Amino acid sequence: MENPKLNHEQMDVLREIGTIGGGSAATALSQILAKRVTISVPQVKLVSSERITATEFLIEPDEVSLVVDLKILGALAGSIVVLFSQKSALMMIDILLKRPVGSTQLLNIMEASALSETAHILSGSYLNAVGELLELHQLIPSIPQTIVDRMDRLNKMMIKKFTDQGVHFLLPIENNLMIEDIQVPLYVIFLLEYDSIKKILKIIGL
């Protein structure tokens, strides 16, 4: 399946999805952390699940990364994944647990749980904002599943998930999260089944 060719107007709509979702997520995080939080969205793509690779996310294949996976409940069928590189995950944990950045060197269960809960909040904020933009209301994230592994293995796991769930397209939204003066890059990725992607493509006029 080829990656769909989108024109500038359609890409602008996808970027708007990322920008509005990121803005909503930044507001939620700012309230939790009591810090100034902004999220910029440098890149949004629509990618065929058959053509996704580990390098799609600018993370080296042998780098340990963390994925928080949530099923979308409601008007869209699919999942939402929050993907952290190892560096981003460790920085985010330090911020959440009020440690100096650079303190955390390894992920333990408590730290992964804190990051999972944050990803759940991010996902809920994204879904609320996206649902309002697309007039697809009552989009709810399920209880999160957190997986820590090498990026190449995580990519294989996600591809298997795409196949098993009938996912046809991914919408990877690159996020540059700024908490005060600390940058924490991450990805929010929508994995959408065929009927759901048709809804979005119809809305953006593809």
Question: Whose CA is closest to 120, among 157, 177, 82?
Answer: 82
Q: What is the pLDDT of residues 129-176, one digit of tens each?
A: 888 877 877 788 888 888 888 888 888 777 777 667 667 677 888 888
pLDDT of residue 35: 93
Task: Classify residue 59: in a domain, yes or no.
Answer: yes
Say if residue 88's pLDDT is above 80: yes
Task: Classify residue 2: in a domain, yes or no.
Answer: no
Task: Classify residue 3: in a domain, yes or no.
Answer: no
Say if residue 1's pLDDT is above 80: no
Question: Whose CA is closest to 188, among 96, 90, 69, 80?
Answer: 80
The tally of domains found in the chain comes to: 1
- Structural domain span for residue 134: 8-203
What does the pLDDT average to over 75-84? 85
pLDDT of residue 93: 92
pLDDT of residue 4: 59
Task: Count CA atoms within 13 Å of residue 85 on its CB side.
Answer: 20
CATH number at residue 25: 3.40.1550.10
Q: What is the pLDDT of residues 178-191, one digit of tens each?
A: 999 999 988 888 88
To the nearest 10°, report the CA torsion of 173, 55, 102, 27: 0
pLDDT of residue 172: 83
pLDDT band with cut points at 50, 70 and 90 for residue 206? low
Place of tokens 């920008």: 19
Task: Classify residue 147: in a domain, yes or no.
Answer: yes
Q: What is the pLDDT of residues 37-60, one digit of tens each?
A: 999 887 787 777 666 665 567 677
> 114 burial class (0-12, 13-18, 19+ CB within 10 angstroms)?
middle
pLDDT of residue 53: 62
